[in-house]
Chain A
């Protein structure tokens, strides 16, 4: 990370702490700033975890609400975004557990589209400039990748989402998941190997 970017990130982190403090003092509107600042990242984490856009929105909404309720428990020794990541991941795992139960009961079909509305909310500018055929190919490829991510165990999925998709450092992942670094790394390596095998099966040849 470049030095100016680092400085900007540090400034944003300090800002987060200030806004959390204002929330604690009863300033509800300060929380709106935190939502605005972190909603995209959280939506992406939840989307990669659940594979369902609308479910991801619900998960993030619940996570923000849970974070607001637990604002007094945020001690400030970790970054607010990392703390929030942990909450989102917990909510997502709860959602997945509920889905698994519903699947076993036959309430939902495994063939239900898990990525409903994905294309509509992709980065608007890129989606518009891209030729239609290429866009469709890319969407198909991403759907397959997402399908392989979805086939990972939730413990492997969360480390791969945080590390390889969101680019979090090992330290941040350790804080967010409350796991030892060794566990995080071993889970990540197993997840990468499993994902590679899945993608090879899906694509035939890795391009």
Chain B
């Protein structure tokens, strides 16, 4: 080993942390090398100098200085807790409870209001004169258009009004897609504004809630005008036009087909020489009924409501004589 290597190992040698072989080598070298021996002595002197260093004393009141800071800190912690709870010691739990309550109420209100929001989204825009004219322009030729007529009696006015109301969904359905009972009722109300107050009241009486009761009262023997009003106010799920050679024969055939699919005729009428009827049938037989109608004449579907529920489907059929 060279002197440099020996010098590097001297601190470990002093601590007796070298292997026995190295220890012998170093001891042999040290006995022969005055330079390395001095290096060892210097190293021992360093250790001695360090151990002999005078100790310093803490400054006066050092303990008090530290403890005052410690107390200040604990005091601040207590103060913070006190501020948090004072004057009501259950302040935090109450706040927590209030927060939970607000969150639960918010969730509940949101859950409750959700369907209404959805309904509001599907509602069509209010019918104005301009939009109405647009809709009519876009729609295929409607079966009946209101024409100015001379003053009519009360009964005639009622019937006329029903015809007007019936016309609205035809155009509206083609653009808005789904229009529920509400929208039709709105349209009906809008038209009925032009009528006498008495008729207005009658129109409002056909609200959906009342309809159910009134539907039950309606029978074949009851007043036909009321039945008509009900069918129109309720609105048809589907509206179609069938072009046939002989309207009277076709009407009979349609009624027969209806009976076959467990349906029934609600009313039938003649207007401007055209026959039309309102019918009800179970939703599962609608497709079959339409197929059967194809055999009677050329069918064109004017309106179809997608949201057909499990209740009876109402269909308005207009029979055109083929030219």
- Chain A interface (Cβ within 8 Å of chain B)? 28, 31-32, 35-36, 39-40, 43-44, 47-48, 53, 56-57, 60-61, 64-65, 68-69, 118, 121-124, 126, 138, 142, 145-146, 160, 164-165, 167, 185, 188-189, 192-193, 195-196, 199-200, 206-207
Stretch at the interface among B39-47, B204-212, B295-303: B39-47
For the complex, what is the distance from the CA of A165 to the CA of B11, rounded to whole Å?
A: 16
Contact: A65 with B69, CB < 8 Å?
yes
- A-B pairs under 8 A by CB, number: 108
Residues of B near A47 (CB, < 8 A) are 56
Contact: A199 with B12, CB < 8 Å?
no
Contact among B11, B41, B54, B59 with A142 in the assembled complex (CB-CB below 8 Å): B54
For the complex, what is the distance from the CA of A207 to the CA of B42, rounded to whole Å?
A: 9
Is B74 engaged at the interface, CB distance under 8 Å to the other chain?
Answer: yes
Contact: B56 with A192, CB < 8 Å?
no
Known: A31-B67, A44-B56, A121-B57. A193 touches B8 (CB 8 A): yes
Contact: B67 with A192, CB < 8 Å?
no
Is B121 engaged at the interface, CB distance under 8 Å to the other chain?
Answer: no
- Chain B interface (Cβ within 8 Å of chain A)? 7-8, 10-12, 15, 17, 39, 41-43, 45-47, 49-51, 53-59, 62-63, 65-67, 69-71, 73-74
Residues of B near A188 (CB, < 8 A) are 11
Contact: B46 with A196, CB < 8 Å?
yes
Name 5 extra pairs, CB < 8 A, besides A57-B59, A207-B45. Answer: A28-B71, A43-B62, A145-B50, A165-B50, A193-B7
- Minimum Cβ distance to chain B for residue A173 (Å): 13
The chain B residue with its CB closest to the CB of A144 is B49
Known: A35-B67, A185-B12, A193-B8. A28 touches B50 (CB 8 A): no
14 A-B contacts, Cβ less than 8 Å apart? A28-B74, A39-B58, A44-B55, A56-B56, A64-B70, A121-B58, A121-B59, A122-B55, A164-B50, A189-B11, A193-B7, A206-B42, A206-B45, A206-B46
Contact: B49 with A193, CB < 8 Å?
no
Residues of B near A200 (CB, < 8 A) are 42
For the complex, what is the distance from the CA of A31 to the CA of B17, rounded to whole Å?
A: 40
Contact: B49 with A68, CB < 8 Å?
no
Contact: A196 with B43, CB < 8 Å?
yes
For the complex, what is the distance from the CA of A123 to the CA of B56, rounded to whole Å?
A: 6
For the complex, what is the distance from the CA of A44 to the CA of B53, rounded to whole Å?
A: 10
**Which 3 pairs, one residue from A and one from B, show the smallest C-beta to C-beta distance?**
A189-B11, A164-B50, A206-B45
Residues of A near B47 (CB, < 8 A) are 164, 192
- Minimum Cβ distance to chain A for residue B12 (Å): 6
